A and B are shown apart, each in its own frame.
Chain A
């Protein structure tokens, strides 16, 4: 299918001219108010990693996301990454193709930013990244759509961007595991011999950031429209916390129950009065 499409695209001359403009991907990056330090760091990391990224002021509203489309249009962006933070702890990441969609809402977990010292790699700012996708991305329709979205947003697609440098020294890795998308960014370290690439000596050193995207919902429009997909495995962090609390409270309930049970038991099996209880007392007195 891919081959046919490419062949078609090359033959179709007017289409190609139109596509040239469409190819220029610009990604609007913005977040809502209430981000924590960790989310802010992740946001900055993404700014660093995407040469096509455009930063915008924090969004005040969380309800009306249609504003984002307008901002994107003003900025001339074709796609958008929105950090939506709830309760100052849960990060939801929206990825959208503006203005017509589709859009995805992810819940972000396991965030490790580039500032962490255990991630020792480093690479050029603005160099192009290889996008490595897990094979499972081709197997289900919603995953195919996700792959297309991710590769458009994270791909440093052309050399047309001013900030893009035509070198390759890192790889973005998207793996599907546990129904979530795990993101890793590795630096490619090669031996010094430039004439021939020695793969035995090739090494990947992690640069960061790390995060896990759990898709929640997909919409046909950007931040609106018909729901395309809903994740049946998704459990809201609110529910998780509530369950945890319930677990703790049930411990208390059980404790109370056990006490009550003990009381009833003691009442039923009351101790018979000991007939020898005051035997020695009497004996002592008689002395």
Chain B
């Protein structure tokens, strides 16, 4: 780092400073390393091991100690890779489990917990519930993510299909124009012979005929208009000129079939027929206020 940052400096002061810094660093590291001698007293270790060793004196069923056949030192790259490291641990553990279960099965010892043996577990039910909830939540998240991904892809595909369709349409148009030009030239060559009236029809038909779509290429053929779209089409019309259509002309002005006197008033059609409303004859009018009060008084 020191060398990297020191460019082509020729200041004496600077050089001295850096030398001093380097020397200081070396001193600090060097002193400690030289002074330290790490103890490794093999004889004493063996002695102590013999003193306390018990595991090898006991039958295996009492200790359940398994040692894996793999004595390889794990590489640092593996140690720092979480997945690979855990996989190694898992393999070692599962080897030990397999070995010991086989031993147990051979000797005929019972080792499995009966299904009806219920006892306290290391983790409480409450905690396990939380664990389960978290797992479910994670699953849900994963599913949602998958759904979003699928939608994104479908959108991409639809876009591609649309582009293809537009391209096809442009091609068809060009073809039609070409056909028309060809027909014109043909006529010119023929000297505008008028007997080709049928030819004209035919030529037009060939020029403007829709190109045949190969089977299975139409994507939206089965799609129907939605109800809302249908209603709007009916109301506002679909395609073509709208302005003139909506203007009155002589016949429509004279047509009064749709007219009736008030839709919601008391003379509305069907109003009189409604149950619960008192029947009124045509000429019968409501009496004036004074007369009504008089009538009330009589009662």
A residues near B, CB below 8 A? 1-2, 5-6, 8-9, 19, 22-23, 48-49, 97, 100-102, 114-115, 117-118, 120, 122-139, 141-142, 144-145, 147-149, 151-152, 155-158, 165-169, 171, 173, 175-178, 182, 184, 186, 188, 190, 194, 197, 199, 202, 204, 207, 218, 220, 226-232, 250, 254, 257-258, 260-261, 264
Contacts and interface: CB of A to CB of B under 8 A. Distances in A.
15 contacts: A100-B51, A124-B122, A131-B66, A132-B93, A135-B71, A138-B67, A142-B40, A148-B52, A166-B111, A168-B104, A173-B96, A177-B73, A190-B112, A230-B40, A261-B11
B91 to A, nearest CB: 10
B128 A229 contact: no
Interface of A is mostly: mixed
A218 B45 contact: yes
B101 to A, nearest CB: 6
Interface in B119-143: 119-123, 127-128, 130-131, 134-135
Contact of B5 (A5, A102, A120, A258): A258
Contacts of A229: 39-41, 45
A124 B119 contact: yes
A204 B48 contact: no
B259 interface: no
Interface stretch (B82-90, B147-155, B280-288): B82-90
Contacts of B201: none
A115 B123 CA distance: 8
Contact of A131 (B11, B39, B52, B64): B64
B45 A228 contact: yes
Interface string B3-16: 00101010100100
B38 A231 contact: yes
Contact of A182 (B89, B98, B119): B89
B55 A194 contact: no
B39 A227 contact: yes
Contacts of B70: 134-135
A186 B93 contact: yes
A201 to B, nearest CB: 12
Contacts of A144: 45, 49
